[in-house]
Amino acid sequence: MTTDTGDGAAFRSDCSIARSLDILGDKWTLLVVRDLMWHGRHTFQALQESAERMPASILADRLRRLRAWDLVRREPYQTNPVRHAYHLTEMGRGLEPVLRQVMAWGHRNLGGGFFVPEGEEGGADPG
Amino acid sequence: MTTDTGDGAAFRSDCSIARSLDILGDKWTLLVVRDLMWHGRHTFQALQESAERMPASILADRLRRLRAWDLVRREPYQTNPVRHAYHLTEMGRGLEPVLRQVMAWGHRNLGGGFFVPEGEEGGADPG
DNA sequence: GCTGGTGACTTTCGATTTGCAAGTGACAAT
DNA sequence: ATTGTCACTTGCAAATCGAAAGTCACCAGC
């Protein structure tokens, strides 16, 4: 697992979708991105307390991977004791359109809630 | 697995993204959708021969799940011996914007190929 | 009738990943 | 000294993955 941005050798294929799924293709990763992007959850604990009750071991692993791929950055927000906060990088923020489409599809077809980050129109329903 | 559209009991949470990931959240499912949607691969074998070399056992499982969720329909295209072809349902076709955004993100950030289905503009590069 | 080939899967089984629960280490407060 | 908080890590059983091989239905050729 020494693959960082810029190295393309580790991917399954040249397809952009396959490559994206190599990073995002599991049940949890995009939920972390969702919480960082829209729900103001920036600490380990806050992320863990999301509705889906992500196990700590998996959260730690996903944050590690997201940092390795430079989708997420970790910064100390206090020094004694050291506490860290997680934030999306620009590459991570670039996933917003993906998240929006996934949300729209789930809303249309699976009856899930719809969330609109900043006063855009319509209702609100985190989830 | 008797959960169809309208039933929300089996999902992890109310969030549309979480619900979508309950169905699509793995490394392979969206590649099957991609091949059915854009690459004219409609038989088991054709799907298996995609660049990512999906194992038969996983392909069989994913097609089963996609059918259970009514994203994909299976139809016999010849009767002796019975051979089946897979096609997206309307719900499945509804994933096209998702696929496009995922592709765009992977293209921008991971250097993957970009594929445009019908003469829209730009290059072509399946994957 | 026997052998070979095709298409669509299923089975087997070791390796990997998941996910629950509990533990750890740093520090602050009581 | 004990308790509490935060951010993880560790242990381990169970589930899932994935490569290879096998199965089943049928047709074609000899």
Torsion of CA B99, B100, B103, B105, to 10 degrees: -110
- Report the pLDDT value the prediction gives residue A7, as an integer from 0 to 100: 42
Give residue-wise pLDDT tens across range B73-122: 999 988 888 889 999 999 999 999 999 999 999 999 998 888 877 656 54
Mean pLDDT of B58-84: 93
For the cut 80, the answer to whether the pLDDT of residue B57 exceeds it is: yes
CB A84 within 8 A of CB A76: yes
pLDDT for res A121: 56
Measure in Å the smallest separation between the Cα of B77 and chain A Cα atoms: 28
| Contact (CB<8Å) A112/B31 | no
For the cut 90, the answer to whether the pLDDT of residue A69 exceeds it is yes
pTM over 0.85: yes
The letter for the amino acid at B86 is Y
User: A36-48: per-residue pLDDT in tens?
Assistant: 999 999 999 999 9
Rounded distance in angstroms from the CA atom of residue A82 to the C1' atom of nucleotide C25 = 12
Asked if residue A43 lies in contact with residue A84, where contact means CB atoms within 8 angstroms, the answer is yes
